[in-house]
C-alpha cells in the first residue's frame, strides 16, 4: 500500500513531530518506509528516528509512505494523521 501525504507541522519532520511519527510507525505490524516525493532520496525505515529526521523534510513538502504487512492500511491512516496535524495538536 502506498500513500502521498503533505507534511503539515511547522517544524516539518524534526523533533516532536518526527518522534510522534516514529512512535506511531512502531505501533503497527507493518514495514513502513518514507521518502520525499521531490528529489531522489531513497526510502528510509519509518520506525527509525535517525533515518526520519535525516530526510530533512520541511512543512509543505510531500512524502511517499509505503507499508507492507497485516496492519499496512491502519499504519498509513495513523501516520497520515500525524503528518497532517499541526504540531500543537500532537499529544
Catalytic residues: 14
> What are 43's three cell numbers?
526510502
C-alpha span between 57 and 3 (Å, rounded): 16
C-alpha span between 75 and 29 (Å, rounded): 8
Distances (CA, A) of 72 to 11, 20, 68, 91: 26, 18, 5, 23
Amino acid at each position: 500500500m502506498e500513500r502521498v501525504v503533505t507534511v503539515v507541522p511547522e517544524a516539518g519532520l524534526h523533533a516532536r513531530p518526527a518522534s510522534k511519527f516514529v512512535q506511531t510507525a512502531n505501533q503497527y505490524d507493518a514495514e513502513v518506509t518514507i521518502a520525499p516525493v521531490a528529489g531522489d532520496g531513497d526510502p528510509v525505515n519509518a520506525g527509525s528516528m535517525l533515518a526520519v529526521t535525516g530526510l530533512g523534510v520541511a512543512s509543505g513538502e510531500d512524502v511517499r509512505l509505503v507499508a507492507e504487512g497485516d496492519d499496512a492500511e491502519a499504519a498509513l491512516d495513523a501516520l497520515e494523521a500525524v503528518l497532517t496535524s499541526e504540531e500543537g495538536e500532537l499529544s
